[in-house]
Chains A and B, each alone.
Chain A
Amino acid sequence: MSSPTSTPSRKRGRASNPSTPGSEGPLSPPSQRARSQDASQGELPPMPTSPATDICSPNPQDTSLFSSPRRSVLPSEVDASSPLLYGTPSSRVEGTPRSGIRGTPARQRPDLGSVRKAPQVDLHSEPPAGENAVASDQAAGQRLVIWGTDVNVGTCKEKFQRFLQRFIDTTSKEDENCGLDLNEPLYMQKLDEISVVGEPVLNVNCGHVQSFDADMYRQLICYPQEVIPTFDMAVNELFFERYPDSILGHQIQVRPYNALKTRNMRSLNPEDIDQLITISGMVIRNSQLIPEMQEAFFRCQVCAFSARVEVDRGRIAEPAVCRNCNTTHSLALMHNRSLFSDKQMIKLQESPEDMPAGQTPHTTVVYAHNDLVDKVQPGDRINITGIYRAAPMRVNPRQSQVKAVYKTHIDVIHFRKTDERRLHGLDDENEQKLFTEERVQTLRELAGKPDVYERLSSALAPSIYEHEDIKKGILLQLFGGTRKDFSQTGRGNFRAEVNILLCGDPGTSKSQLLQYVFNLVPRGQYTSGKGSSAVGLTAYVMKDPETRQLVLQTGALVLSDNGICCIDEFDKMSDSTRSVLHEVMEQQTLSIAKAGIICQLNARTSVLAAANPVESQWNPKKTTIENIQLPHTLLSRFDLIFLMLDPQDEAYDRRLAHHLVALYYKGEEQIEEEYLDMAVLKDYIAYARTYIVPRLCEEASQALIEAYVDMRKIGSGRGMVSAYPRQLESLIRLAEAHAKVRFSEKVETIDVEEAKRLHREALKQSATDPRTGLVDITILTTGMSATARKRKEEIAQALKKMIQAKGKTPAMKYQQLFDDLRAQSEAAITKDLFDEALRALADEDYLTVTGKTVRLL
């Protein structure tokens, strides 16, 4: 710990400065202080007291010293790095060309509150200050700690510098660390960044601190008000030693985050007061900017002598007597020369996920200071790190009677938006769910069972009977495929989400299944096609009533990014609404161009939709398209389309009845024994989604290729195509999802087999041509089965022949032609079919139809 290389000349300059002996103490440069402190530990010198107080102050606990006007004589010369004087605003330097630790002004940290209350004390002079500290004292001799804590400034500083210089985290996954070399000390690289970028803020992950030095971490958590300034001091010394010429706006501030102490607002309790905590929540309200006075400027009305008084715990001690002319009550506050800092009140509400059922969310008041003001907006999900405070409440400002209640708030030190990161395309689920060892063990055990797939699918919505394949499909949807990035080759992201459409008779518990899924997944949304509009699904721009700013409000699809969007009554949706789904369901993005806002939002949403047949009852004589009247462009985007029909079979009925009766009389406990717990299922899915990234193995790829070729072959024999690349992609996704179910890192042949089976099963149900009974994928891709198309051509040809047979008649009556054709043909010809045939001929430029007449060309 050597003195900053850039300072000696200044120091010497100052030493020659004829100053009063009394002001010597606070003016002593940090290097000097540091050395003396070093000495006090290492070499056990006879100097027992704090260097900050030893020279000037007869009473180490006399805090009035620091606010005494004496200091203002040389306002720019006060040592800024002392923790005791930390953040003294009078340390501002007016001169512009500045560099190095002396030249860079310290910036006040109102987030840490007033530190001046806590002078350092010698442990030996006050024994009850904590045995703990004595025990951990490595330097057996005298030991200086900040009053009320066991923090020794010197040791702490040294430790932190060591931490900065040595800490390496090779497993770091945080997005802000991308671009950094993980094998080099992490924070030194960050300091390098600061010197380049010039933003004097160093964010420190408390997790890193903990893994590096548990004792330092404990001190940081317990005495943030004292430890963080020490950290600041340490980092500034280190920084200006390395980058003596860099110019910063103010000295570097350390902002710790991710203190593991508290995660949930609900678990805050009185023991957390004045400690460093991290909680998550949602911003619900921001106050206006509040200018908070930091330092009052007084000027004597008589002699114009000025005095500065710092705010101490929200109060200003107005000097009663002018020290210069000794006039009493002559000092007046000068507003425009006083110092203010920005402050903002933010209300934070518990995130809905953290709440126990049946309770209302808690709220906490948070104060943001200086540059943290206006960093967050209402509606943001954030993690904040700050100091928890409590202050007694007065009943009435004029009465001294107090309510026996404290007001609590958090002074924020660090914000981290949790939803912002989602926009960067990084999976944030790893920070959302942390699994305990045992939990992972149980999950792994479960995954090892051979029938895990069946177990999980039967645990899904146990109250809904049978429909095993549908449940399996939904299970695979919950797991999803592996996300692949092909943006380099120009194709962008491949969709990893599985989309499923359920159609079927009303009353086959489709809605119930949707409700269940919605309740199961953390980021699920449930909408009904009837009630939702295009803007409700996507996003809309609205004017915030308070700020009059245009804000983008996101709809269900964007909100369920990385989740599942359940859309009930899909068929009742208006066409314009449905059209927005095209983009979402294939490109997984949502483009918006509204009111001057043009953007593309991520909507990596799996869609689980339910549709009712048009005729209220499923008509088995019609194709899926005809039954639900959905555009085939949309249908082809669903990986699996299931029909939920009443099977009408005796054995099924019997089992159904048994199931339902059991539902109604069994006790809660029995039910829970029978099935996998919903919580386990949730964790299982979350774990698999986070940690399992299966890749295709060689055999599986071969199997997939074969499967695809087979699918195409089926059709080619009859002159039609029965599979498209989209189907192949579906197969891959399903196979990957199935591998995830098994917690397998490799997609193997069994996964492909199951994907094939499920896909075929779904196809069998939805893409069967009712006329031939054969599976025909073209029903889904073109909206018409191959046989239907063939039939259309036949009729057109028959019509052409008939017209040709009639000889040269330039014009014919429409109705007559129709009647003639019907008389001629052995099969029944509907008006629709006739019209289609006419249209086909018109396309050939053989004839034109104008009103009720048909003309040959």
Chain B
Amino acid sequence: MPSAHDWINNPLGVVEVQNNSNPEWQKKVVDYFKDKLTEKEAQTWVPSLNDVPLHYLKPNSLVKFRCLIQDMFDPEFYMGVYEAVDPATKSKSLKCGKYKDVTECLQVEFNSRNSVTSERQTFYCVPIPGESSWVKECYARSSQAQVIPSTSYTPNRHKRSYDEDDDMDTQSQRPRDSNTGSQSSGDSQRNGDSKRQETEAPSNNTTTTQSCTSPLDLNYPLPEEQGPACLVKVYEDWESFKLNDTIEVFGILSVDPALGGVSEEKEPTSLLDPMESMETVEEQRAHSPPPSLVPRLHMVYALPLQHINPLLPSAVSEDKNAFVTSFLSELGSIRSEFLAYLTHILLGDALAAEYLLLHLVSNVYARRDVLPLGKFTLNLSGCALSATYTEHLYRIIQQLVPSSYRLPMSLHNMNSMRMVPRKDYVANRLVSGVLQLASNTSLFLDETQLEQGQLDASGVRNITALGNLISWQKVDYDFNYHQMEFPCNINVLVASEGRSLLPSDCQVHLKPQLAPPNLGEFLGAIQAAQAPSQMNRYRLYLSVTRRMDYSISEEVTKAVEEDFVEMRKDDPQSMSAEDLHRMLVVSRLLSLSFGQTTLSTDVWMKTKHLEMLRMSRIQQQKSVNGHEP
């Protein structure tokens, strides 16, 4: 197979060949890779930056990277075609600069008529924030990449992961992903890696990487995130990408150490060099970090990711349809099992379990002017059962959804955390914040952690940002002189003791039927009882139902209208337009959760029933603590 895989190991060779043979080579190259990659399973042959440590990857080979576009830098002009001069023979030759960072020869003739200046765009990409460990594992397992130092690679990885697991086991029962473990093992190892690479690389300049052992902020949205960040160079259609898009990039890896911008023992900058005064040190650090930490990736092909669930086939549509139809047939049984599971988790509260399920299926599917449709923020009140219940709950949700984040809303967090991304004009980059999340990420707001005290200015801003996120599904990024609105699609679940101080679409008060003495053990046992295959079915269930189309037929529309008028006749106060909004969302989610793509009267009746139960429970709650503000 090696010959077949040449396009993975030596993609620049392919570019070269195409270049020589055809005048329209640029398009040809892209088409070539697209063809190769859309072949069956071909994508799995390409090693992924997500699960293979950087130093195992061959420079200038084709790699893939599953990431979120965190920042977009300014477009840069590069030498598309340049004339190289051989200093020895003085002979000139034309070279191609596409997909490369550094010129190949010693001297470049700048004033040549033949040189072509082209434009490309740089994106700063980070691994998908809050990606669950099961997603990572699953992707890593499905990879069939033939990493070059394969003899050392595979066992090495296993060995280390066992070590890590042992360590982990003593701390928590939860198995952790081997990859994150191996990567977290510290800067020292990382630096060692980069050094090794250094010796292989033609350049002998080692100072650049040395100086970078000082912590370089890789700008992950979430504080405890790990994994490689990447500078992706985009050559065409960069307008089609948006900030916070999740994409899978197939590109040519470039780790030339010469790219690192900052070196400490740089010569005292001469006054006359106009280029030196242009950038601050911060900007250089942000824009040209050492490639051993932030490799460059020259994009040849990118796949926008609709979802990051590895269990669901991604792009190939025929396969997917067949897969989904076969899955739909057993949807009903999965739903009831899943509901039972959630009911157990929520200590026997079937109603809350039903709403939690709807919440997990929800998805902003459209926007009507400013109004996002389909969002379903759930406020689960009465969660302060024990100190750790919300944490356990979050762990369980984490096991179900592809990406998630738990934000403990403690006073300290609210006052000190950077939630809204902010533009740092000194370093000229977008400093990320917790709310810079990919679509369909589950955000778990833990309000039980909130204590009395004073919110300062930034705390108020953070609360406002959360409120905006919930009500309008948008985050206003702070650009210092102005704000910019970025729409998002985040499932927010607020766990609180009483009614949450944040707005929500729907509040359910938890009513535990069971009171196990040791909550942690109890929940652990429930989780342990679920076979991995069963968990996979749940994960798949959520991803599939969330993505289905939905419509309402004429007759049902009529019926719903009738119902609304009827309900308002009895008591106009009890049924407002807002209530109808919510009921329509609930009925939509309920239909989808049953795998139905149109609203039936049955589901509508069930919606009404559920809502009634929920309302009466809130009424009860109000009367219980009537003196509550």
Report whether chain A binds chain B: yes
Query: When A and B form their complex, which 7 residue pairs have the shortest distance between CB atoms, in order from nearest?
Result: A358-B242, A657-B564, A657-B561, A270-B117, A665-B552, A463-B368, A404-B97
Chain A residues, CB < 8 A from B373: 663-664
Interface positions, chain A 573-607, Cβ under 8 Å from B, are: none
Q: Are B368 and A362 in contact (CB under 8 A)?
A: no
User: In the complex, what residue of chain A is closest to B261 when comparing beta carbons?
Assistant: A395
Q: Are B76 and A405 in contact (CB under 8 A)?
A: yes
Q: List 16 A-B contacts (CB under 8 A).
A: A269-B119, A284-B480, A293-B272, A314-B273, A359-B239, A360-B423, A360-B484, A361-B484, A392-B108, A405-B78, A405-B79, A405-B101, A465-B577, A515-B370, A658-B561, A664-B373
User: In the complex, what residue of chain B is closest to A517 when comparing beta carbons?
Assistant: B370
Q: Are A660 and B577 in contact (CB under 8 A)?
A: yes
For the residues of A in contact with B, the DSSP-based class is mixed
Q: Are A656 and B577 in contact (CB under 8 A)?
A: yes
Q: Are A316 and B100 in contact (CB under 8 A)?
A: no
Q: A631-674 interface mask toward B, CB cutoff 8 Å, 1 = contact, 0 = none?
A: 00000000000000010101001101110111111001001000
Q: Which of B74, B368, B425, B569 contacts A663 (CB 8 A)?
A: B368
- Is there a chain A Cβ closer than 8 Å to B369's Cβ? yes
CA distance A352 to B477 in the complex (A): 12
User: In the complex, what residue of chain B is closest to A128 when comparing beta carbons?
Assistant: B113
Q: Are A404 and B100 in contact (CB under 8 A)?
A: yes
Binds B, one of A406-414, A471-479, A728-736, A746-754: A406-414
Interface positions, chain B 454-473, Cβ under 8 Å from A, are: 460, 464, 472
Interface positions, chain A 329-364, Cβ under 8 Å from B, are: 345, 347, 349, 352, 355-364
User: In the complex, what residue of chain B is closest to A367 when comparing beta carbons?
Assistant: B274
Chain B residues, CB < 8 A from A658: 557, 561
CA distance A718 to B107 in the complex (A): 97
Residue among A268, A365, A650, A653 with the highest chain B CB neighbour number at 10 A = A653
CB distance from B258 to the nearest CB of A (A): 5
- Is there a chain A Cβ closer than 8 Å to B316's Cβ? no
Q: Are B101 and A396 in contact (CB under 8 A)?
A: no
Known A-B contacts A519-B370, A654-B565; the reply to A363 vs B577 at CB < 8 A is no
11 additional contacts, CB 8 Å, given A358-B244, A660-B580? A293-B271, A314-B274, A360-B243, A396-B205, A401-B102, A403-B103, A462-B369, A507-B576, A531-B464, A665-B557, A678-B369
Interface positions, chain B 238-263, Cβ under 8 Å from A, are: 239, 242-244, 258-259, 263
Chain B residues, CB < 8 A from A487: none
- Is there a chain A Cβ closer than 8 Å to B162's Cβ? no
Known A-B contacts A315-B272, A358-B487, A646-B572; the reply to A364 vs B74 at CB < 8 A is yes
Q: Which of B205, B423, B464, B576 contacts A646 (CB 8 A)?
A: B576
Chain B residues, CB < 8 A from A782: none
- Is there a chain B Cβ closer than 8 Å to A521's Cβ? no
Known A-B contacts A402-B108, A650-B565; the reply to A365 vs B278 at CB < 8 A is yes
CB distance from A45 to the nearest CB of B (A): 33
CA distance A630 to B244 in the complex (A): 43
CB distance from A559 to the nearest CB of B (A): 9
CA distance A125 to B405 in the complex (A): 72
- Is there a chain A Cβ closer than 8 Å to B371's Cβ? yes
Binds A, one of B32-40, B521-529, B581-589, B619-627: B581-589
- Is there a chain A Cβ closer than 8 Å to B277's Cβ? yes
CA distance A220 to B551 in the complex (A): 59
Chain B residues, CB < 8 A from A654: 561, 564-565
- Is there a chain B Cβ closer than 8 Å to A56's Cβ? no
Q: Which of B277, B430, B578 contacts A360 (CB 8 A)?
A: B430
Q: Are B479 and A361 in contact (CB under 8 A)?
A: yes
Q: Which of A273, A315, A531 contacts B117 (CB 8 A)?
A: A273
Q: Which of A287, A405, A660 contacts B581 (CB 8 A)?
A: A660
Chain A residues, CB < 8 A from B118: 270
User: In the complex, what residue of chain B is closest to A269 when comparing beta carbons?
Assistant: B119
Chain A residues, CB < 8 A from B274: 292, 314, 367, 391, 409
- Is there a chain B Cβ closer than 8 Å to A285's Cβ? yes
Q: Which of A392, A465, A650, A664 contacts B588 (CB 8 A)?
A: A664
Q: Which of A400, A408, A516 contacts B107 (CB 8 A)?
A: A400
Q: Which of A391, A397, A402 contacts B102 (CB 8 A)?
A: A402
CB distance from A470 to the nearest CB of B (A): 15
User: In the complex, what residue of chain B is closest to A316 when comparing beta carbons?
Assistant: B272
Q: Are A653 and B75 in contact (CB under 8 A)?
A: no
Q: B477-490 interface mask toward A, CB cutoff 8 Å, 1 = contact, 0 = none?
A: 00111101011000
CA distance A507 to B471 in the complex (A): 13
Q: Are B552 and A406 in contact (CB under 8 A)?
A: no
CB distance from A546 to the nearest CB of B (A): 10
Interface positions, chain A 261-297, Cβ under 8 Å from B, are: 268-270, 273, 282, 284-285, 287, 290-293
- Is there a chain A Cβ closer than 8 Å to B275's Cβ? yes
Q: Are B368 and A462 in contact (CB under 8 A)?
A: yes
CA distance A378 to B481 in the complex (A): 9
User: In the complex, what residue of chain B is closest to A290 when comparing beta carbons?
Assistant: B277
Chain A residues, CB < 8 A from B413: none
Q: Are A270 and B258 in contact (CB under 8 A)?
A: no
Q: Are A507 and B578 in contact (CB under 8 A)?
A: yes
Q: Which of A269, A292, A409 contacts B271 (CB 8 A)?
A: A292
CB distance from A22 to the nearest CB of B (A): 30
B residues with CB within 8 A of A: 71-72, 74-79, 82, 97, 100-103, 106-108, 110, 117-119, 205, 239, 242-244, 258-259, 263, 266-267, 271-275, 277-278, 366, 368-371, 373, 423, 425-426, 428, 430, 460, 464, 472, 479-482, 484, 486-487, 550-552, 557, 560-561, 564-565, 568-569, 572, 576-578, 580-581, 584-585, 588, 599
Chain A residues, CB < 8 A from B74: 362-364
Q: Which of A268, A463, A664 contacts B552 (CB 8 A)?
A: A664
Q: Are A393 and B101 in contact (CB under 8 A)?
A: no
Q: Are B550 and A665 in contact (CB under 8 A)?
A: yes
User: In the complex, what residue of chain B is closest to A360 when comparing beta carbons?
Assistant: B72
Chain A residues, CB < 8 A from B271: 290-293
Q: Which of A270, A316, A663 contacts B77 (CB 8 A)?
A: A270
Interface positions, chain A 30-61, Cβ under 8 Å from B, are: none
- Is there a chain B Cβ closer than 8 Å to A512's Cβ? yes
Q: Are A363 and B72 in contact (CB under 8 A)?
A: no
Chain B residues, CB < 8 A from A367: 274
Residue among A292, A360, A463 with the highest chain B CB neighbour number at 10 A = A360
CA distance A661 to B584 in the complex (A): 7
Chain A residues, CB < 8 A from B277: 287, 290, 345
- Is there a chain B Cβ closer than 8 Å to A379's Cβ? yes
Chain B residues, CB < 8 A from A284: 425, 480-481
Interface positions, chain A 657-711, Cβ under 8 Å from B, are: 657-658, 660-665, 668, 671, 678
CA distance A367 to B267 in the complex (A): 24
Chain A residues, CB < 8 A from B426: 285
Chain B residues, CB < 8 A from A842: none
User: In the complex, what residue of chain A is closest to B482 when comparing beta carbons?
Assistant: A352
CA distance A291 to B274 in the complex (A): 11
CB distance from A177 to the nearest CB of B (A): 30
CB distance from A262 to the nearest CB of B (A): 14
Q: Are B258 and A401 in contact (CB under 8 A)?
A: yes
CA distance A277 to B255 in the complex (A): 36
Known A-B contacts A405-B76, A461-B369, A519-B370; the reply to A661 vs B588 at CB < 8 A is no
CA distance A392 to B82 in the complex (A): 12
CB distance from B97 to the nearest CB of A (A): 4
Chain A residues, CB < 8 A from B560: 657, 661
CB distance from A799 to the nearest CB of B (A): 41
- Is there a chain B Cβ closer than 8 Å to A716's Cβ? no
Q: A473-512 interface mask toward B, CB cutoff 8 Å, 1 = contact, 0 = none?
A: 0000000000000000000000000000000000111001
Q: Are A648 and B275 in contact (CB under 8 A)?
A: no
CA distance A291 to B205 in the complex (A): 33
Chain A residues, CB < 8 A from B585: 664
CA distance A292 to B270 in the complex (A): 11
CB distance from A298 to the nearest CB of B (A): 15
Q: Are B278 and A409 in contact (CB under 8 A)?
A: yes
- Is there a chain B Cβ closer than 8 Å to A840's Cβ? no
Q: Are A660 and B108 in contact (CB under 8 A)?
A: no
